[in-house]
Amino acid sequence: MNILGIETSCDETSAAVLKNGRVASNIISSQLIHKAYGGVVPELASREHERLIVSIVDRAVNEANIQKNDLDIIAATAGPGLIGAVMVGLCFAQGLAYALKKPLVPVNHIEAHIFSGFIQEDPEHQAPEDNFISLTVSGGHTMLCVVDNDLHYRVIGRTIDDAAGEAFDKTGKMLGLDYPAGPLIDKLSKEGNADFHTFPRALTAQSRTSKSYRDNFDFSFSGLKTSVLNYINNHEPEFIEQHLPDIAASIQEAIISVLVEKTVAAALKYNIGAISVAGGVSANSGLRHKMETSCAKHGIRLFVPKAVYSTDNAAMIATLASLKLSRGLVKPNNYDVAPFASFEYS
């Protein structure tokens, strides 16, 4: 079965083809136009998707060495995301599916991230047979789920303010770093001392704001953002510049330590032996190393997607469509799909 996946939820235009469950192509075009504005501008994102969508889909199909008529299923992100951006990819998919007389499968972008750690490229890379804890962490979402082996999941924790990726970008902007700041903080942190300064870790054992932190799997990063701003304002610019790698490392440690602590605590509480970490922030080298160390200590299997599948990509859209179709959890749609902007937590 050949499945075309299309993803345009934010500032990546992506198309991918799965051939019998394996990735045959995965084309991603990341928009650089937003760098000048320090964040994604929704209207500009939509226009860039419109400009690129045809060529990106054509490249994905050609790289997979098939023709459009060889496609069996068209899958596309229906949300959540920037509504204008989502509409570009979804409307294109609807039109293409209708023209080719192929079924359409709408996909939840966040659900696709949850299962992106199991994108098939080789026979050895298999999803866990039992349930697992999923940490989905990106610029717009930070969410912990218990995922059952029937692909159903329940949310046990989420951010109550800023997402982790948002915290990286906003604190990086305070330090004068370009957007997106997350990768730059990761790079600087490798040269810095993570113990240089202790920034707050809300809703954790290090925080006195919650007596029941052990049973609280929610996240909060707005206090970290405020703390970093106060720290910068209380020091001379020369001091900040001189100790930039140390400050970056301290910020990164404050973010990833919370992510690791809560994720591993959830696995232990629910007696689950596998963890999956996905989303753009899962590409952070510090998070990967710290999560690997903690999981190894507790005998927990860890699944993290390759860096190319960490950020928004169409391979994860096609993969989730394939998984759900193979298990009879979804039926191809008749093209009448409404886009949506927000993720409904349950």
Check whether 308 is labelled as a binding-site residue: no
Buried b (16+ CB within 10 A) or exposed e, 244-273: bbbbbbbbbbbbbbbbbbbbbbbbeeeebb
Instruction: Supply φ then ψ for residue 168, to 5 degrees.
Output: -60, -50
Check whether 113 is labelled as a binding-site residue: yes
| Tokens 């059952």 sit on residue | 148
CA distances from residue 171 to 30, 123, 230, 252, 300 in whole angstroms, order as listed: 22, 41, 11, 10, 32
Q: How many helices (H) and strands (E) does the chain have?
A: 11, 10
Check whether 95 is labelled as a binding-site residue: no
Buried b (16+ CB within 10 A) or exposed e, 188-227: bbeebebeebebbbbbbeeeeeeeebeebbbbbbebbbeb
Q: What share of the chain is helix, strand, coil (3-state, %, to 5)?
A: 45, 20, 35
Check whether 161 is labelled as a binding-site residue: no
Check whether 136 is labelled as a binding-site residue: yes
Check whether 182 is labelled as a binding-site residue: yes
Check whether 162 is labelled as a binding-site residue: no
Check whether 49 is labelled as a binding-site residue: no
Check whether 148 is labelled as a binding-site residue: no
Q: Report the distance separating Cα 86 and Cα 202, nearest Å.
A: 33
Token representation of residue 96: 């293409």
Check whether 139 is labelled as a binding-site residue: yes
DSSP code for 279: S
Q: Which residues are annotated as a binding site for substrate?
A: 136-140, 169, 182, 186, 284
Q: Which residues are annotated as a binding site?
A: 109, 113, 136-140, 169, 182, 186, 284, 312
Q: Which residues are annotated as a binding site for Fe cation?
A: 109, 113, 312
